[in-house]
Amino acid sequence: MDEDIEGDVGSLDVAALEEIREEFLGLDGLVDHAGFDSLLDPTELRIHVDDGIGDAMWCRFDIRWYQTGCYSVHHTDGNGVDFRFDHHPKPDAPDRHFHHPPDADPVTASCIEVTEPRLVARAVHQLWRRAYKTKETTSLNTAKNPP
Amino acid sequence: MTTSDPPENLWEGDVNETVVEEWTDETTAFDRVRQVVDVTTEPQSAVEIADRARVSPPTARKYLSTMAEDGRVKHISTDAGSQYMRAPQMLAMRRIAAIHREHTKAEIRESIRELKEERASIMEAHEVGTIDELTLALDAGDEGWNDVARWRQIEQNLEIAQAALALYGFDPDDSHAAAVRTAESTTERRERGTFGDDASRSTA
């Protein structure tokens, strides 16, 4: 568990996660499957992707969304490259922050400004897609394209 | 649901503006109002929801009242005018139906037992009896906030699981007797419950 929530974020919002699941499935044929870790005790949505950035064979997004609009979108892949787009209280960083690859550290302000679950899903997908296409992760947290 | 080929071209300009443009291009105004209100957990005015859904306030008001009539949206009259949020029952029912479809009675009972155990251990670790007591005892940055989020989750899951369990006794069409008459092996069907043949899936 890589949670670093440091404030009250409310309950997990399964409806928002279902919207995000629908977006990812509709956005990219590389998404193999997507679902909750459990129906009886869901803690996160997992998006399984059939390819990864650079020579990674696969990647996965583990997503939590809370009723307050707080979220955590954690990317990991076959090469152990971890990064996270987060929105939650964190005393030493802006609420909306980005945990840089390859170890989800250090933390700086996130370039994602949209707040609806479907829009955040689309933004994460676009940013990931650019890294996938260019095979480099240095611009992951840059909203402008070209960077 | 349509799965498209991977997009060929990257966006130009700001990704935040791009995703809003794509969303509004690919959806109808009704879709967007529905999608936005489905994740609205605190009452909001039609103007606020219109702003989030990128539609005009009259359009939002029209669709919100339709959805309120259908029971998808909860309408609240206040001194400041009408406010709207998602109807909690709709979401609970979707989760309950999915659990009822995918899990046996014994699995649900086991899950309830585990959730209660975990709740008891959180209470014991922090020496509190309610979630409110725990939030009052914590400062910003404390590690205990993970337990607050987890505890809320446990309470929600317990309510859902108990409702799913209660559904096993609900059989107005006497489907058990019908199943006995028509099926060779009925055990599985009875155990899986009322929504066993429902084609819709909430998770893959």
What is the per-residue pLDDT across A63-86, written as a single tens digit (0 to 9) for each?
Answer: 999 999 999 999 999 999 999 999
Report residue B59 CA to chain centroid gap: 25
Euclidean distance between CA atoms B101 and A142, whole angstroms: 43
The share of chain A scoring above pLDDT 90, in percent, equals: 87
Say if CB B126 and CB B147 are below 8 A apart.
yes
Whether A12 and B156 lie within 8 Å, measured CB to CB: yes
Whether B19 and A122 lie within 8 Å, measured CB to CB: yes
> What is residue A5's predicted lDDT score, i.e. its pLDDT?
66
- Euclidean distance between the first and final Cα of chain A, in Å? 32
- The residue type of A10 is G
> What is residue B6's predicted lDDT score, i.e. its pLDDT?
52
Cross-chain CB nearest to A7 (options B12, B14, B140)? B140
Q: Count of CB contacts below 8 A, A vs B?
A: 140
> What is residue A92's predicted lDDT score, i.e. its pLDDT?
85
| pLDDT of A146 strictly over 90 | yes
Q: Evaluate the omega torsion of the peptide bond into residue A147 and state whether it is cis, within 30 degrees of 0.
A: no
B160-194: per-residue pLDDT in tens? 999 999 988 777 777 767 766 776 554 554 445 44
> What is residue B154's predicted lDDT score, i.e. its pLDDT?
94
> What is residue A9's predicted lDDT score, i.e. its pLDDT?
84
Name residue, tokens 């971890």: A82
Measured between alpha carbons, how far is residue A6 from residues A100, B27, B60, B119, B146 in Å?
Answer: 19, 36, 35, 20, 7
Euclidean distance between CA atoms A146 and B20, whole angstroms: 18
Instruction: Report ipTM (2 d.p.).
Output: 0.94
Provide, as residue numbers in chain B, all residues whose Cβ is less than 8 Å from the Cβ of A50.
none
Count of CB atoms situated within 10 Å of the CB of B120: 10
Residues pairing with A36 in the sheet: A45
Provide, as residue numbers in chain B, all residues whose Cβ is less than 8 Å from the Cβ of A144.
13-15
Name residue, tokens 């990674």: A56
- Largest pairwise CA distance in chain A: 44
Closest approach of A45 to chain B, Cα-based (Å): 10
Task: Collapse the DSSP code of A86 into the 3-class scheme (helix H, G, I; strand E, B; otherwise coil) and give the result.
Answer: strand
| pLDDT of A4 strictly over 50 | yes
- Largest pairwise CA distance in chain B: 65
> What is residue B184's predicted lDDT score, i.e. its pLDDT?
52
Is B141 at the interface with chain A, CB within 8 A?
yes
Helix B29-37 crosses helix B57-69 at what angle (to 10 degrees)? Answer: 60
Say if CB B10 and CB A130 are below 8 A apart.
yes
Count of CB atoms situated within 10 Å of the CB of A32: 14
**Tokens encoding A11:** 């309950």
Report residue A17 CA to chain centroid gap: 12
CA angle B50, B54, B56 (to 5 degrees): 50
A107-145: per-residue pLDDT in tens? 999 999 999 999 999 999 999 999 999 999 999 999 999
Say if CB B134 and CB B148 are below 8 A apart.
yes
**Residue B71, Cβ density class (10 Å: 0-12 exposed, 13-18 middle, ≥19 buried):** exposed
> What is residue B176's predicted lDDT score, i.e. its pLDDT?
65
> What is residue B198's predicted lDDT score, i.e. its pLDDT?
42
Whole-prediction pTM: 0.83
> What is residue B170's predicted lDDT score, i.e. its pLDDT?
75
Whether A145 and B11 lie within 8 Å, measured CB to CB: yes
Spans of chain B, pLDDT less than 50: 1-3, 186, 189-191, 193-204
> What is residue B7's predicted lDDT score, i.e. its pLDDT?
56
Whether B11 and A34 lie within 8 Å, measured CB to CB: no
Residue B13: CA count within 13 A, CB half-sphere:
6
